[in-house]
Amino acid sequence: MLLVLTLVFGLFKLVSGQWQVIGPDKHVKASVGEDAIFSCFISPETSAEAMEVRFFRNEFSAVVHLYSDGKDHYDMQMPTYRGRTELLKDYIVDGRVSLRMEDITPSDAGLYGCSFSSQTYYQEATWELQVSALGSTPLVSVMGYVDGEIQLCCQSSGWFPQPTVKWKGPQGHDLSSDSKVNANKQGLFDVKTYLLVQEKTRNLSCSIQNVDQNLKVESKIWIGETFFQPSPWRSPTILLGLLCFGLCVCIIGLMIFFFKYRRKLQADLNWRKQQAQDEWRDARKHPVELTLDPGTAESHLHISDLRTVTYLDVPQYVTNLWMRFSNMAVVASQGFSEGKHYWEVDVGQNVGWCLGVCLDNVERAMQNVTLSPINGYWVFGKNTQQQYFSLNPDTINLFPRIPPTHVGIFLDYEGGTISFFNINDQSLIYTLTHQFAGLLRPFIHYSPGLEGNQTSIVICPVSCGSGKEGHLQKVPTSPDTDNRKPSSQVASDHTLPLQE
């Protein structure tokens, strides 16, 4: 009978559209400087794509991260969390989301919650974030003599929350001491404790413990009888102790300096990352629809659906028009002489390629030519040695954080820039600057590697990426190039084989 009632109650909840929000454990632990992940989900499984998902601090209005209407709302965040959170939505259709909070600080400790809101129902879950930091190993130093006793100092830095400090004697019993605890600008605690040692004391230990997180570090010291006997070495020993203390102070100062420097570098890196993402989103507001011109493709390059380039081991029969490239290249039917234009190209795992723009009147019959602005090319590419590069006009080696397989290209004709974005991590790879003059065409160059290692290169619709973008520009194709005369431009004497 109880089983039947349970099934009926569960069915009633499912039909009525009610569900339960389950969050992390009541206590989530994280270390200073590391990342924390909070996972929340709906039970039973219910899609949350159309819901409002909110992570908050202490109260509902204190927004840590907000998702609604199918997108993240960063403008609603509290300032302290901006640029530090990312909502992982891979399983949002199952009602599961996770929030990654980067670079945990002591001030992040406290009560958090997550909520799911539909048009008819609302539920939330709460938990406590406990932050800790394990300080440095205690440094024990000799301060000098006080009334026939030796004064010892034990110090450590970088603790959170406030730790307890203890001196212990040879039998492990606690010794009374004078301790000081100070909080630095980062909210971490520095501790220092002093102890007077009598002649009968030999083995000592200084331990510092974070009781809440069960973290403990300890240093031991052994004091010989010679410390308590008058000796001509007494003054040098004291001097040596003072020198050691000064050296320790210098080391601690350097550690604090490098810690602050590292934090500054990380903040600068986060700012650059956010700036690159903003530039990419602005660029995607100017999408353009491109098609490839088969009449310009080299005989080994097969053009299908006017968007896909495939390398053929056996060249196909083509008409040798003057506008056809002889160096494994092809250009788009569209050309640009003004405005802003953005397009994306999927290069996959190909071993060698170049993407960008070139002047419409470049010399196309030359097999070896340097793809530099001097010769009318503005490109980014990868050679067969797996090295990424650009030319401006000399070769510039580039080192993307993640190898790009999907590249975004943004041309600002009047602004005189062409930028290349790594769609894999939404980062800016490189920007070339030039005062453009003349018609520019999107350009693709293919550098095949070993047989069987090459795949197709595809011009992707911008709408296949993430996010809502601007209206797609339909750029008319240029007039029939057969009616134009060949260019009289002469290539540079300094050439670079394209198939490296």
Is pTM beyond 0.85 here?
no
What tokens appear for 265 in the block? Answer: 């570098």
How many whole angstroms separate alpha carbon 143 and alpha carbon 243? 10
Residue 467, pLDDT score: 40
Peptide bond into 44 cis (omega under 30): yes
The torsion angles phi and psi of 262, rounded to 5 degrees, stand at: -65, -40
Closest CA to 369 of 298, 455, 313, 292: 298
Does residue 202 register a pLDDT over 50? Answer: yes
Question: What tens digit of pLDDT does each residue of 40-85 get?
Answer: 999 999 999 999 999 999 999 999 999 999 999 999 999 999 999 9
Residue 369, pLDDT score: 85
How many whole angstroms separate alpha carbon 210 and alpha carbon 108? 18
Residue 242, pLDDT score: 87
Domain topology for 283-483: Jelly Rolls (2.60.120)
Domain boundaries, the chain: 16-132, 139-256, 283-483
Domain topology for 139-256: Immunoglobulin-like (2.60.40)
| Identical fold, 16-132 and 283-483 | no
Beta strand 96-101 with 406-412 is unpaired
Residue 494, pLDDT score: 31
How many whole angstroms separate alpha carbon 440 and alpha carbon 414? 12
Closest CA to 489 of 363, 360, 366: 363
Question: What tens digit of pLDDT does each residue of 341-393 get?
Answer: 999 999 988 888 999 999 999 988 877 888 999 999 999 999 888 899 999 88
Where is average pLDDT lowest: 25-29, 62-66, 369-373, 469-473?
Answer: 469-473
How many whole angstroms separate alpha carbon 256 and alpha carbon 156? 12
Q: How confident is the model at residue 478 (pLDDT cuts 50, 70, 90)?
A: low
Q: What is the mean pLDDT of the chain?
A: 83
Where is average pLDDT lowest: 151-165, 253-267, 486-500?
Answer: 486-500
Does residue 12 register a pLDDT over 70? Answer: no
Class of CATH domain 16-132: mainly beta
Q: Can you point out the beta strands (E) in 275-405?
A: 288-289, 301-304, 308-311, 329-331, 340-346, 353-359, 377-382, 388-391, 395-398
Q: Are the C-beta atoms of 164 and 179 separated by less than 8 Å? A: no
Q: What is the mean pLDDT of residues 304-326?
A: 87
Does residue 481 register a pLDDT over 90? Answer: no
Residue 59, pLDDT score: 93
Q: Map tokens 């009374």 to a residue.
A: 176
Does residue 274 register a pLDDT over 90? Answer: no
